[in-house]
Structure 1
Amino acid sequence: MLIILPPSETKAFGGDGAPLDFESLSFPSLNPNRKEIVDVLQQYDVDEAMKVLKISEALRAEAEENTKLTTGPTMPALYRYTGVLYDALDAKTLSDKAWDQLAIGSALFGVVRARDMIPFYRLSGGTKLHDATMKSRWGKSITEALNAEDDFIIDLRSGTYQTLGKVKDAVTVRVENSEGKVISHFNKFYKGQLAREIAGKGISSIDDILATPGFHFKEVNGNQITMVV
């Protein structure tokens, strides 16, 4: 099983790993795209980057980090990302087997596994670099890389990141309240809880997910599961 998590805008600074080594990353077929995007990002000075990334002066430090993508420190991807989903996931308490089954979608790296060592960066799935969308920059490469995985895939990425590399047979999860309305604010929190519960548990089918204790699932529509919270 492979669970693909969404990235987060918020990330932990620093790290104690060596600078980025593309050849050490999972899904090596994505390296040409990764290198090209890194190269484009580093062509912007900080002021230009802030405009392209549409961030305020308060986040200048994040744009500055993009100038150090190949020289700055790294840390495991699962520790790099922070925020609601990752708080609910609580990576430090997960088993080694759970870590083995987690990956993260990314505008910069396409998709990486939990232990891949990555630097701090700022780049969103909706950003345009030199007027090219992230979807056009990734083309079919993420889809092809994930389709090559001989695994049962649970795709918890948001719509923006799913469009960067759709996986036809992946299971997706919709989160609703008891009135049938889609949960937006706490969507990531509940997906983080679900990922925490099923990672490392030998899940291999939709039925296995539906049988997960502590969760209520209303329906299955094709490969989409609706979780009621």
Structure 2
Amino acid sequence: MLILLPPSEGKTAPRRGKPLDLGALGSPALGEARRRVIDALAATSSRADAADVLGVGHTQLDLLERNRTLESSPTARAEAIYTGVLYDALGLTTLSPAARRRASSRVAVVSSVFGLVRPGDRIPAYRLSGDTTLPGLGPVAGVWRDTLGDAVTASLGRGLLVDLRSGTYAAFWRPPAEMASRVATVRVLHEHGGTRKVVSHFNKATKGRLVRALLEDGRDPRDPAGLAAVLRDLGWHVEENAATPRGTQLDVVVSEV
């Protein structure tokens, strides 16, 4: 099983640590694309219009400095870099030892700078949204669309892909139709007063808790129906939708976070 997560917009910048070593990151085949994005990001962050291009508020200009010094800044394990509702609920650093070992092989973050990041990869904090177009490079999503698929499929092997990415990062790569029988996406629906709707906070927090529960449980379902069964065993209300050429969507219905 491979669980794909979106990155968080907010990141914890390490105060100390070794500088970035691209050659030490997982999925080394992404090295050339990583280099292109890093160089373009550094150049863009030095432009007079950098804040506008990168969507950085004028009270957050320190984020541009992070981008300019990406390769000399301290790094930490990615599990400590990504923050926010999903990652707080997931709590990668507080998993049991066995669950942390599972996370190292079953969890990957889709990153606008690094493509695919494992929890143990050492990276610096950065600011680059997945819908950004970098001058001289083009849309970030386009860079990864050409290269990310091979890295994901190599990491996945013959297992189940649990795709929890947001729409922005889903655009980096979409599973081909021949993989559909082993692709599961998850939609979290908040039910209140007989009405169901997607609420961002519930969606992120619930996905984080789902992933934590799966890692602690340890079972390795091979298809969407198997994943739905495991989640039900773990106490979630799960409704399985019809299979499509893109995979099977599981609806997880919650009434409170």
Same fold, TM exceeding 0.5?
yes
The secondary structure found in structure 2 opposite 1:197 is: helix
Matched with 2:200 is 184
1:88 Cα deviation after fit:
0.3
Contact 1:37 1:108 in 2 (8 A): yes
Match of 2:117 in 1: 112
Deviations 1:109-141 (A, max 9, x none): 111111000011000001110171112222321
Q: 1:202 & 1:185 partners in 2: Cα distance?
A: 27
Amino acid aligned to 2:225: D
Give the conservation status (yes or no) of the 8 Å contact 1:46–1:63.
no
After superposition, the Cα gap between the structure-2 partners of 1:15 and 1:208, relative to the gap in structure 1 and judged at 3 Å, is farther
Q: In 2, are the aligned partners of 1:102 and 1:199 still within 8 Å (CA)?
A: no
Contact 1:102–1:114 (CA under 8 A) maintained in structure 2: yes
The offset of 1:49, in angstroms, is: 2.2
Deviations 1:33-77 (A, max 9, x none): 110010011113164321211111111111110011110000111
Structure 2 matches for 1:1-229, cutoff 5 A? 1-44=1-44, 45=46, 47-94=48-95, 95-100=99-104, 101-130=106-135, 132-149=138-155, 150=157, 151-168=159-176, 169=179, 170-178=183-191, 179-199=195-215, 201-205=218-222, 206-211=224-229, 212=231, 213-222=234-243, 223-229=248-254
Against the structure 1 CA distance between its residues 15 and 160, is the aligned structure 2 distance closer, same or farther, given a 3 Å change threshold? same
Percent identical: 38
Aligned-pair CA distance for 1:14: 1.6
Distance 2:196 2:29 in 1: 40
Deviates more, 1:154-163 or 1:46-55: 46-55
Amino acid across the alignment from 2:52: K
| TM-score, normalised relative to structure 2 | 0.83
Tell me by how many angstroms 1:20 deviates.
0.8
Q: How far, CA to CA, are the matches of 2:140 and 2:82 in structure 1? A: 19
Structure 1 unaligned segments of length 5 or more: list them: none
Amino acid at match of 2:130: G
User: Where in structure 1 do 4 or more consecutive aligned residues deviate above 3 Å?
Assistant: none
Q: Which amino acid aligns with 1:122?
A: R
RMSD: 1.7
Q: CA deviation at 1:204?
A: 2.0
Aligned partner of 2:190: which letter? N
Residue 195 to residue 56, structure 1, CA distance change in 2 (3 Å): same
Q: Which has the larger radius of gyration?
A: 2
More displaced, 180-189 or 160-169? 180-189
